[in-house]
Amino acid sequence: MSAVDVAGVGIHPFGRFEDRTITDMGVVAVRAALAEAGVGRGGFQAAFCGTAYGGVASGHKVLSRLGLTGMPIVDVEAGCASGSAALMLAAQSIRGGAHDTVLVFGIEKMPKGMIRSSFFEPWQEDTGLAATPAYFALRAQRLMHTSGVTKDHLAAVVVKNRRHGVANPDAMFRREVDADAVLGSRVVCEPLHLWMLCSPNEGAAAVVLTRGDATRAGTARGSVRLRAAVVRSHLPGSVLSESTPMSGLVDDAVAAPTTLAATAAFEEAGVGPADLDVVECQDTDAARELLSYEELGLCEPGGSGAMIDEGATSFGGRLPVNTSGGLLSKGEPLGASALGQIVELVRQLRGEAANQVEGARLALAHTVGRGANAGVVVLSR
């Protein structure tokens, strides 16, 4: 199998842009990634576009604007992991020998407020069960119950990520907050306060992948290798799985989709959690980040509260998590968010990041959301 390298990345800032369409934002990110990779017309043989709300032929609309069509363009929907799934398919097509160079991008323009998802049926909406943040809250409460996590820990995650986000010009929120302010914001769904939840928003990100032995331009920026790009769905049985079932078994031993994806990705990359230098993980809400520490194996089960207490995951700590500011600072444009993580980690591995982790050599990106879809990507210098 061929090795896969990242030849270029590009991003359109995440935020609210009333004067720009989803296509406009996609064009910005794609142009930036292609320019970094030194790839133009005819330079890539396939394109995968992650989007959840973009609608029919979203990817085609971006590449049509640039006159870069003719190759297969496939839109990929996998909820919050849409970009991870697009990346997985692109990497597989290179590893399998079908292509030398593939463009991957993610685009989104989310409606404001609580997300109305076609996932739910009308009776669930009528019964009040289509309340997405409530499921985050139930998961947070269970984590507090099983791991001794407190609201102070949840606030600490927000404080950390918002502090990291100050340095990120592509983030939506670039102002520090303190724990009192987080805990003073209104309760959306107990135990989650407003500032513990990320904002659905708009943005785009793009990545160009090439076969490791292919001749490429742009190598002056330093070579970044894609070691694994894995997506997994849920196993049946867990009532609070991101698959959002209406029932589940009285069984707490069902492996989470994030754990399934991480296990496969670590095996594929031949590394373990202890080898990582920097991580971007799904922080849809503050508890989700802590749960991710445990499900990814960054700490022992029950150890996530201590990890945030010790500052291990802060910039400057033992294993910085969400140096970009995370979704809590950037906001979450579903189709673009996973590739936004890749942009941050590629910059870390090149030594170009705003919050640069010194000597970073191995990085992990994690997304999880409805489906369930969990994506884990491992990158190395």
- Choosing from 249, 272, 316, 318, the residue that interacts with another protein (CB under 8 A) is 249
- Choosing from 152, 190, 267, 352, the residue that interacts with another protein (CB under 8 A) is 190
Shortest Cβ distance from residue 56 to another protein (Å)? 22
User: In this structure, are residues 107 and 29 in contact, taking their beta carbons and an 8 Å threshold?
Assistant: yes
User: In this structure, are residues 226 and 5 in contact, taking their beta carbons and an 8 Å threshold?
Assistant: yes
- Choosing from 189, 226, 260, 328, the residue that interacts with another protein (CB under 8 A) is 189
Q: Which is nearer to another protein, 138 or 306 (CB)?
A: 138
User: Tokens 């724990």 identify what position?
Assistant: 179
Select from 193, 5, 32 the least CA-distant residue to 90: 5
User: In this structure, are residues 324 and 340 in contact, taking their beta carbons and an 8 Å threshold?
Assistant: yes
Q: Does 31 bind another protein (CB under 8 A)?
A: no
Q: Does 142 bind another protein (CB under 8 A)?
A: yes
Q: Does 148 bind another protein (CB under 8 A)?
A: no
Q: Does 128 bind another protein (CB under 8 A)?
A: yes
Please tell me which residue in 49, 80, 198, 299 is annotated as part of the active site: 80
Q: Does 184 bind another protein (CB under 8 A)?
A: no
Q: Does 198 bind another protein (CB under 8 A)?
A: no
Q: Does 112 bind another protein (CB under 8 A)?
A: no
Shortest Cβ distance from residue 128 to another protein (Å)? 5
Q: Is the dihedral of CA 92, 217, 48, 284 positive or negative?
A: positive
Select from 111, 311, 21, 349 the least CA-distant residue to 207: 349
Q: Does 253 bind another protein (CB under 8 A)?
A: no
The CA-based angle 376-110-156, given to 5 degrees, is: 55
Q: Look up 49 and say whether it is catalytic.
A: no
Residue 317 CA to residue 325 CA, distance in Å, equals 15
SS3 288: helix
- Residue 221: count of CB within 10 angstroms of its CB: 17
Encode 157-221 in three state secondary structure.
HHHHHHHHHCCCCCCCCCCCCCHHHHHHCCEEECCEEHHHECCECEEEEEEEEEECCCCCCCHHH
- Tokens (6 digits) for 5: 């390298």
Ramachandran category for residue 62: left, alpha or beta (phi over 0 → left; psi -120 to 50 → alpha): alpha
Cβ neighbours for 319, distance < 8 A, ≥ 6 positions apart: 276, 277, 278, 279, 298, 312, 313
Shortest Cβ distance from residue 236 to another protein (Å)? 5
List the interface residues with another protein, window 299-358 (CB under 8 A): none
Select from 45, 42, 39, 103 the least CA-distant residue to 67: 42
- Choosing from 116, 180, 184, 270, the residue that interacts with another protein (CB under 8 A) is 116
Q: Does 131 bind another protein (CB under 8 A)?
A: yes
Q: Does 271 bind another protein (CB under 8 A)?
A: no
Q: Which is nearer to another protein, 41 or 116 (CB)?
A: 116
Q: Which is nearer to another protein, 139 or 153 (CB)?
A: 139
Task: Kindly indicate which of the ranges 46-54, 117-125, 317-325, 327-335 contains the residues binding another protein, using the contact rule CB under 8 A.
Answer: 117-125
Q: Which is nearer to another protein, 126 or 300 (CB)?
A: 126
Shortest Cβ distance from residue 250 to another protein (Å)? 5
Burial class (CB in 10 A: 0-12, 13-18, 19+), 2: middle
Q: Does 110 bind another protein (CB under 8 A)?
A: no
Task: Kindly indicate which of the ranges 77-85, 94-102, 108-116, 290-298 contains the residues binding another protein, using the contact rule CB under 8 A.
Answer: 108-116
- Choosing from 141, 185, 223, 356, the residue that interacts with another protein (CB under 8 A) is 141
Q: Does 98 bind another protein (CB under 8 A)?
A: no
Task: Kindly indicate which of the ranges 8-16, 148-156, 166-174, 189-197 contains the residues binding another protein, using the contact rule CB under 8 A.
Answer: 189-197
Residues catalogued as catalytic: 80
Question: Residues in the site for another protein, rule: CB under 8 A?
Answer: 113-117, 120-123, 125-134, 137-138, 141-142, 145, 186-192, 236-237, 239-240, 245-250
